[in-house]
Amino acid sequence: MIITRLKGGLGNQMFQYALGRKLALKNNDLLKLDISGYQHDNLRSYSLEPFAISAEIAKQEEITRLKYPLGIFSLVWRYFSFKVLRQFHTGWEPAILEAKGNLYLDGFWQSYKYFADIADTIRADFTLKEPLEQKYPELVQQVHEGDSISLHVRRTDYVSSKKHQKNFGTLSLEHYQKAIRLAKENRPNPTLFIFTDDPNWVKNNLQTDVPTIYISNFGLRDYEELILMSYCKSHIIANSSFSWWGAWLDPRPDKIVIAPTHWTQSGEPKTDDIIPPSWQKI
């Protein structure tokens, strides 16, 4: 059995699931999800239920058995065993893919390299059980038919939290304006679809010279916004796992993705680990 601990928001949970799914397929094993950490989390919750994923929710006794197989002695054992895989940073650790047997995964695992060879499987797993086309047919058609460009601006927790401001920081208006100019070069009749948690700030500060649609006006859930983002033909992403997945789930080989050169203030994870080589960094 493989149990992966889920933590953080939707994008983080998707990375954590993807590594677990990769190891489960590689080892012909069963994948389960530890969502127990959300029982006392007032900000985040388990967010993968709307997707067609291949995993069950782990029972507490299963979590305990894998995480603490020797009772109190497990606190020592876990540091000398490869069965509890903990990652205190977020980058690429290729040795993890060689792990076998009963495994408990505890980390962020933010690298496309963990699951690049099963991309079709991961994209299929992250399709919605309730198709977006049924709920928002006109909006989906508009995204599909035009030269659609998604643009993600993340602000709330990156601005309000000193910790997040220090670790991530927000992208500048100049960055977004440059990204829009680059994206327009490949889309002769662009429409900009803006995905943001702070639409008033974006409307008041980011000037555009192309038709612009704010997705926040339509009342979509976060997972619905992510899937709608993946339908766009070009993507301007923030330093956020949410828009990373919105761009990555787009299967088009000719898609244009513009990503920030610096993902975090510390430089971890390395952009070579998280940004596929076909994406453009500015």
Tens of pLDDT, residue by residue over 219-263, are 999 999 999 999 999 999 999 999 999 999 999 999 999 999 988
Torsion of CA 282, 258, 10, 26, to 10 degrees: -100
* CA separation, residue 263 to residues 201, 219, 241, 268 (Å): 22, 28, 10, 7
First to last CA, the chain: 41
State the average pLDDT over residues 147-162. 76
pLDDT of 75 above 90: no
Q: What is the DSSP letter of 45?
A: -
How many of the other CB atoms lie within 10 Å of CB of 280?
14
State the average pLDDT over residues 165-176. 76
Boundaries of every domain in the chain: 2-125, 132-281
pLDDT of 86 above 90: no
Q: Which residue has the higher pLDDT, 44 or 166?
A: 44
Q: What confidence score (pLDDT) does residue 168 get?
A: 55
Beta-carbon contacts of residue 214 (< 8 Å; ≥ 6 apart): 194, 196, 199, 202, 203
Residues above pLDDT 90, as percent of the chain: 75
* CA separation, residue 39 to residues 4, 45, 60, 150 (Å): 16, 8, 12, 33
pLDDT of 31 above 60: yes
| Fold entry, domain 132-281 | Rossmann fold (3.40.50)
Label residue 154 by pLDDT band (50, 70, 90). Answer: confident
Q: What confidence score (pLDDT) does residue 164 get?
A: 46
Label residue 63 by pLDDT band (50, 70, 90). Answer: very high
Phi, psi of 212 (to 5 degrees): -130, 135
State the average pLDDT over residues 71-77. 50
pLDDT mean across residues, the chain = 89
pLDDT of 178 above 70: yes
